[in-house]
Amino acid sequence: MSILYTINIILVAILLYFGGTWVYYRLRGRQLNGAMSPEDFESTMRKAQIIDTREKSEFDAKHILGARNLPYTQMKMYANELRKDLPVYVYDRSVNAAIRSTGRLKKYGFTDVYWLNQGFSDWQGKTKKTTKL
């Protein structure tokens, strides 16, 4: 009986963690107010800096045409290479990761930062592969 009780406690904790994370990023996204639909993202991206915050291997496999790779893990070191006078459009594989990256860029003083609302997995626009198979 105690093993089942322990398993139930663990499952509830896992559900609370993932539910809490989901709620946190939805609230944080509303606070940052920078979600863009794929259509708006694509129609205005020529006027912005497109940043892919996934790791290099994912970027090389496939990315939005015109994007540059600035992994979240290296953002602190290389964010100064971005221009603060131009909008920054961020995307990642998921919305939560893009919201996290947007928050970090705003912390570094960028004011015009937006993210791809549905993440890269739903992107239907032009893409490019960097690595050769």
Spatial separation of the C-alpha atoms in residues 35 and 114, rounded to whole Å: 6
Q: Which residue matches tokens 């129609």?
A: 43
pTM of the model: 0.79
**What DSSP element (H or E) covers 91?**
strand 88-91
Q: Where are the domains of the chain?
A: 1-33, 34-128
Spatial separation of the C-alpha atoms in residues 43 and 5, rounded to whole Å: 53
Q: Which residue matches tokens 């290296």?
A: 74
pLDDT tens across the length of the chain (133 residues):
688 889 999 999 999 988 887 777 777 777 777 888 889 999 999 999 999 999 999 999 999 999 999 999 999 999 999 999 999 999 999 888 888 899 999 999 999 999 998 888 878 888 888 765 5
How many angstroms separate the Cα of 11 from the Cα of each of 2, 21, 22? Answer: 14, 15, 17
34-128 homologous superfamily = Rhodanese-like domain (3.40.250.10)
Q: CB count, 10 Å around CB of 89?
A: 28
